[in-house]
């Protein structure tokens, strides 16, 4: 029983990363019918922005320029990194994707891959290949809950992730901007006739998705405090799978699929050799998609590119 409980705790943490990143993929796809293949590298960019923001705040605080309680640095880091990473995401939409309006789907896919490579290369050119250690923002404490050992950072990661999902769900369901995004996902052609600015909604989708990627990057840095330029590739692709599994544009679906992927990976690695983890995990997902081709909460739709 202790073995199961401990792996549930581990799976919740990994599932939180996948779910929050998958939300970014899902939002952009629901609005533009576009998979932003650079999103994994936006996650990497958000982690690095969080690194520099938190390092700067800690330095200012230690030098006495700004008096900041230690507990305040983490939320300030998250807020500032969300804003800055959202700016990067909107810049990507404006510069890289919007000029491709009307272009073949393959052009948009290639553009996403190219943007990802550009972000990685810029990171290497500006910062070098040396790995960065994310600063310690929370002193780790370990609690014994039943038969499982749980740290305060793991609890915080899961709670913050759930909070982000809840806030996004309420934004999409209860605000006029969220309503415009849902309407754009439902009927892209009719929305401009009703006065909804398509470009603004597209920017909003990229901005929100990138802000969530920044949150995931900071939480990842807290849990695994080693940053490197290629950290977004594998995690980003797995979150992409979670977005597909969850269904187009579904916040609940992306969250559920992200946690499910985390559970499958952790329990497969716990029972079988770790080299078989991805093979078994993605075979299970392939079987699920065979019976649910539109994902958990997806619906049939036209595959017309909406850039």
pLDDT over 60 (residue 302)? no
Q: CA neighbours within 13 Å on the CB side: how many for 234? A: 6
pLDDT over 50 (residue 294): yes
CA–CA dist 250, 299 (Å, integer): 10
Arithmetic mean of pLDDT, 76-88: 95
For the chain, strand residue ranges (E) read 132-133, 142-145, 148-151, 226-227
What per-residue confidence (pLDDT) applies to 102? 73
pLDDT tens digits, one per residue of 197-250:
888 888 999 999 999 999 999 999 999 888 999 998 888 888 888 888 888 777
164 token code pair: 């982000």
Q: Could you report the per-residue pLDDT of 266-286, keeping only the tens digit for each?
A: 888 888 887 888 888 888 888
DSSP secondary structure, 212-253, as one string: HHHHHHHHHHHHS-EE-TTHHHHHHHHHHHHHHHH-TT-HHH
Fill in the DSSP letter of residue 135.
P
Distances in Å between the Cα of 125 and the Cα atoms of 118, 119, 122, 216, 299 are 10, 10, 5, 24, 43
pLDDT at position 305 is: 45
pLDDT per residue as tens digits for the range 148-188:
788 889 899 999 999 999 998 899 888 988 888 888 877 77
Q: Using one digit for the tens of pLDDT, what is the confidence trace for 102-136?
A: 777 778 888 888 999 999 999 999 988 888 999 98
Look at residue 71 and give its three-state secondary structure: helix
pLDDT confidence of residue 300: 62
pLDDT of 299: 67
Question: Distance between CA atoms of 277 and 281, rounded to whole angstroms?
Answer: 6
Q: What is the mean pLDDT of the chain?
A: 86
- Tell me the mean pLDDT in the region 60-80: 86
pLDDT band at 81 (very low <50, low <70, confident <90, very high): very high
CB atoms within 10 A of CB 301: 13
Better-predicted residue by pLDDT, 198 or 49? 49
- For the packed helices 39-63 and 198-223, what is the interaxial angle rounded to 10 degrees? 60
- Provide mean pLDDT across the span 20-34: 85
DSSP string of 150-188, one letter each residue:
EEHHHHHHHHHHHHHHHHHHHHHHHSHHHHHHHHHHH-T
Residue 131 tokens, joined: 């790995």
pTM attached to this predicted model: 0.90
């Amino acid at each position: 029983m202790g073995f199961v409980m401990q792996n549930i705790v581990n799976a919740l943490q990994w599932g939180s990363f996948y779910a929050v990143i998958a939300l970014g993929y899902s939002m952009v796809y629901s609005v533009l019918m576009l998979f932003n293949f650079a999103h994994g590298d936006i996650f990497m960019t958000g982690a690095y922005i969080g690194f520099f923001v938190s390092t700067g705040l800690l330095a200012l605080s230690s030098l006495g320029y700004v008096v900041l309680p230690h507990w305040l640095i983490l939320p300030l880091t998250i807020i500032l990194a969300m804003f800055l990473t959202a700016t990067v995401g909107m810049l990507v939409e404006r510069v890289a994707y919007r000029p491709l309006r009307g272009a073949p789907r393959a052009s948009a896919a290639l553009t996403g891959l190219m943007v990802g490579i550009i972000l990685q290369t810029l990171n290497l050119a500006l910062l070098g290949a040396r790995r960065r250690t994310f600063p310690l923002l929370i002193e780790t404490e370990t609690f014994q809950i039943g038969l499982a050992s749980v740290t305060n950072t793991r609890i915080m990661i899961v709670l913050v992730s759930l909070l982000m999902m809840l806030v996004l769900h309420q934004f999409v369901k209860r605000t006029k901007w969220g309503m415009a995004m849902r309407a754009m996902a439902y009927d892209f052609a009719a929305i401009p006739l009703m006065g909804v600015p398509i470009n603004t909604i597209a920017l909003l989708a990229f901005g929100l998705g990138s802000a969530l990627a920044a949150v995931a990057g900071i939480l990842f840095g807290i849990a695994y405090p080693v940053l490197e330029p290629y950290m977004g590739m594998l995690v980003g692709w797995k979150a992409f799978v979670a977005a597909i599994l969850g269904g187009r544009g579904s916040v609940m679906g992306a969250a559920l699929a992200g946690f499910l992927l985390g559970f499958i990976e952790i329990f497969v690695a716990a029972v079988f050799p770790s080299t078989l983890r991805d093979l078994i995990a993605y075979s299970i997902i392939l079987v699920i998609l065979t019976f649910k081709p539109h994902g958990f909460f997806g619906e049939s739709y036209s595959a017309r590119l909406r850039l």
